Amino acid sequence: MDEVAIIGVAQTRYQRDNPASHAEMAYEVTRKALEDAGLTIDDIDNTVTVCNDFWDGRTISCMTITEATGSHKVPTTNVEGDGTYGALMGAMRLLSGLHEVTLVVAQSKVSEGIPAVITNAMFDPVYERSLGLDAINSSALQMRRYMSKYGITEEQCAKVSVKNHKNAKSNPYAHMPLDITVDDVLKSRVLADPIKLLDTSPVSDGACAIIMAVDEVAKKRYSKPVWIRGIGHCADAYHLGDRDLAEVDALVSAARRAYSMAGIQDPVREIDVAEVYDAFSYMELMWMEGLGFCGRGEGGAMIDSGMTGMNGALPVNPSGGVLSAHPVQAAGLARIAEAVLQLRGKADARQVEGATVALAHGIEGACGQGHCVFVLGR
């Protein structure tokens, strides 16, 4: 697949309690993404927003940001899931042949609601919802299952948090740059065993936008655009009890589809940098396995080896990842924006030298029910 390029990206700085309204944040990234692409709003012929009514506290929230995203009088659609799915929709719009330049905008004001109450509503109201399940304690069930099935340790999970918070110190957009040790993570407050405070991602407000174009537009206007080489997505069962929570079947399938489209045969050797959706420390280890960067159950050994560090063979989450900024709807789109910056060689202090192929990954649903994988290249 060589027909869609990403020609503009923008992010807000991620922070708790951003005093801007959700529409003001959407406007900020729309304007900056246009500036980044060297375009005006008149060059955009369709938009995709990424809004979720429960998180936004309003019904049909996407219709409240049409002004902010310049979407009056152009085709606009909303994707309710993670931002990577918004980018997927945007790419499909272009591949349909009906449009030439798509703007995708995702925003989240997580600090305005109560995340545990909102994520509790993910669960079936007739069944598990009454147990008080939410994103944290459901993930704790997954982390324990993963640890006990494969002998992964809390220390190995903590190493992800140490690595990513340290990486965040080189990312001006990150919410939580931290110098912490494995011991700090292990001794942080237990929220839902085995998940401690420093295994979790922060409550972040923020927005991200990307602009995509068909190849004739991209080749005419830009010397070396970033191309989408492959996309794959897949979902697993809804009820937690229907899945073996230590397994990553949907991600394996999503990655296989993306790699097949991109012509990737040996992901560890061919991919230079990855930005993955590490909402909790253990997730990065599981996603390494699902993405085929290591074998099943080898995520712990992989972090021990230092391979995913900034100086390793495959740096993972140089931005600091979702552990360092978690604007829920925008978090997956931010992975794509960061991957684009890496491929442009414009990731400044977090740059992975010579990156030519990058992977970006998003999830949706409890415990990574659905996965969306992008392979980007120069």
**Residues lying near other proteins in the complex (CB under 8 A):** 17, 19-20, 57, 114, 116-117, 120, 125-134, 136-137, 140-142, 144-145, 148, 190-195, 237-242, 245
Least separation in angstroms between CB 369 and other proteins = 12
Question: Smallest distance, Å, CB 295 to other proteins?
Answer: 22
Taking the complex as a whole, the smallest distance from the CB of residue 123 to other proteins amounts, in Å, to 9
Which residue, 55 or 374, is less far from other proteins as judged by CB?
Answer: 55
Q: How far is the CB of 53 from other proteins (least distance, A)?
A: 10
- Closer of 130 and 305 to other proteins (Cβ): 130
Question: By C-beta, is 145 or 221 nearer to other proteins?
Answer: 145
Complex with other proteins: residue 361 or 371, whichever CB lies closer? 371
Which CB sits closer to other proteins, 120 or 164? Answer: 120
Smallest gap from Cβ 332 to other proteins, in A, equals 25
Over the chain, what HEC string results?
A: CCCEEEEEEEECCCECCCCCCHHHHHHHHHHHHHHHHCCCHHHCCEEEEECCHHHHCCCCHHHHHCCCCCCCCCCEEEECCCHHHHHHHHHHHHHCCCCCEEEEEEEEEHHHCCHHHHHHCCCCCCCHHHHCCCHHHHHHHHHHHHHHHHCCCHHHHHHHHHHHHHHHHHCCCCCCCCCCCHHHHHHCCEEECCEEHHHECCCCEEEEEEEEEEHHHHHHHCCCCEEEEEEEEEECCCCHHHCCCCCCHHHHHHHHHHHHHHCCCCHHHHCCEEECCCCEHHHHHHHHHHCCCCCCCCHHHHHHHCCCCCCCCCCECCCCCHHHCCCHHHHHHHHHHHHHHHHHCCCHHHCCCCCCEEEEEEEECCCCCEEEEEEEEC
Cβ proximity to other proteins, 134 vs 272, nearer residue: 134
* CB 193 to other proteins: min, Å: 5
CB of 156 to other proteins, least distance (A): 17
Instruction: Compare residues 286 and 310 and give the one whose CB is closer to other proteins.
Output: 286
